[in-house]
Amino acid sequence: MSMPDAGISAAEDAALEEQIKILLNRPHVVARSRAVAATLPTAIDPAAFRVSFSGIRHRQWLYGVDLVRGDITVTASPGGAGKTSLAIGMAACIATGKPLLGEQIWGGGDLKALYINAEDSGAEMRRRVASFCQHHNIAEQDINRLYVAGTDDPQVQHLSLLRTSDKNLSVLDLEGFKQLDSLLDALRPDLFILDPLVALCGGGNVNDNTVMSLVMRGLKSLAIKFDCAVLIVHHTRKGGDQTNAEAISGASAIINLARHAVMPMTMTDEEAKWFGVLPSERLQYFKLVDAKSNLAPRSAEAPWYQLASEELPNAEPPTYPRGDRVQAVTRAQLTREKTSAFAGPEQRAIRFEILKLIDRGLTIDGEQAPYTPNSNGKNKTRAILDDAMAVVEKATRARRQHRRSSPRN
């Protein structure tokens, strides 16, 4: 028994040794080990380990500074925040060679992307790709270097990075990695996306730090072997600080062994006030927080994105007279409202309450109706002034009560 590392418990150390024994005793692993051993030099040459400044390769960026060849990026957020829509957009940018989301695409044309989704069907993935392309005016023939496999694809159904051993331990699924190797060898993508990680590790425990270290190292090896970037789509813990990489769920090895991590964060009420976004539209916006960056400086200015709704031309009347409405991600150019930039908290609260009022509208005879600025004539019942004064009264009530209760000199 080896002595445990300072950062590894005795139980983890024992589990790792058991995994190694299981892996090393498999016949094809033994054969491969012997083949590798036969190619190794009999003596170690110290010169091979000396530092040389000549011929240093440039970092092979692929998409801005978020994706780099030979390494892993993790994007994580709660469900519905936009991480899959963003990942689809990134894949489409790579496959078209166009900076559709505002980030530079490095490496010229003829780039390819492979998206494996173990949560959505192939049909749903095609809808989402079609929505993105429709919103950004991308023709079908221009997206033919994007390969997509959904959860109903046999390649995905039989793919798992983990399995459970006879002794109920989570271990690497070497067959799964072999399948991934064959897929990458056949398609040779520049970007490889796994979405979501937990669904592709269903045969084991993603909270097991020891085995997830091996999973991440295995994916890193594939990224190096095929000179591609790997993007892992993952979830965050409920109640965690969504600005911190520690909120990413599962074993800490997932984030520790990734070179970069970005986290989509839905716009807050306060941010909506600053940008003048209507309350009903707030959930359409998210910012991309730079949670971890080992290869480039972390950015303090988070870019904003919007989830636009696109109606696909796939109506099937009379049952479905309208096409599916599917969200598509786009870069948002938000600026703080001039009135908000110089207003205090109370003025921003008043403005926000009035925006909510306009957005909500009126209910007249059981039907929704918009407000009108007219206070007389036939539109008098829809005049906004009285209701606007009421929400201002509500927004300033606390200050007025504080003034009345304060002692006078």
Give the H or E element holding residue 363. Answer: strand 362-364
Q: What does the pLDDT look like over 273-293, one tens digit per residue?
A: 888 888 889 999 999 988 887
The residue length of the chain stands at 409
Compute the half-sphere exposure of residue 159: CA atoms within 13 Å on the CB side of its CA. 26
Show pLDDT as tens, one digit a residue, over the chain (409 residues). 444 444 556 666 666 666 666 655 655 555 555 555 665 566 888 888 899 898 888 999 999 999 999 999 999 988 888 999 999 999 999 999 999 999 999 987 799 999 999 999 999 999 999 999 999 999 999 999 999 999 999 999 989 999 988 888 899 999 999 999 999 999 999 999 999 999 999 778 899 999 999 999 999 999 999 999 999 999 887 766 666 677 788 889 999 999 999 999 999 998 998 888 888 899 999 999 888 877 666 555 789 999 999 999 999 999 999 999 999 999 998 887 654 544 566 666 776 677 676 667 766 666 677 766 555 544 545 556 566 667 667 766 655 555 555 555 4
Using a 10 angstrom Cβ sphere, with 0-12 exposed, 13-18 middle and 19 or more buried, the burial of residue 363 is exposed
CATH of domain 61-332: 3.40.50.300
Kindly compute the dihedral angle of the four CA atoms of residues 240, 243, 249, 252, in this order, to the nearest 10 degrees: -120
Q: Where are the domains of the chain?
A: 61-332, 338-403
C-alpha 206: how far from chain center:
18
Residue type, 35: A
SS3 of residue 116 by DSSP? strand
d(CA 188, CA 113): 9
Residue pLDDT, tens place only, 65-82:
999 999 999 999 888 889
For the entire predicted model, the pTM comes to 0.74
Question: Residue 271, class by beta-carbon neighbours within 10 Å (0-12 exposed, 13-18 middle, 19+ buried)?
Answer: middle
Q: Which of 208, 198, 220, 223 is nearest to 171 (CA)?
A: 208
- DSSP H/E element including 154: helix 154-157
Torsion sign across C-alpha atoms 85, 91, 96, 97: positive
- Return the half-sphere exposure (C-beta side, CA atoms, 13 A cut-off) of residue 236: 25
In the block, residue with structure tokens 């909270």: 207
| CB neighbour list of residue 172: distance below 8 Å, 6 or more residues apart | 19, 23, 161, 162, 163, 211, 214, 215, 218
- For residues 200 and 160, is the Cβ–Cβ distance under 8 A? yes
Residue 234 near residue 248 (C-beta atoms within 8 A) = yes
**H/E element holding 270?**
helix 269-275
pLDDT computed for residue 4 by the predictor: 44
Q: Which of 283, 13, 307 is nearest to 132 (CA)?
A: 307
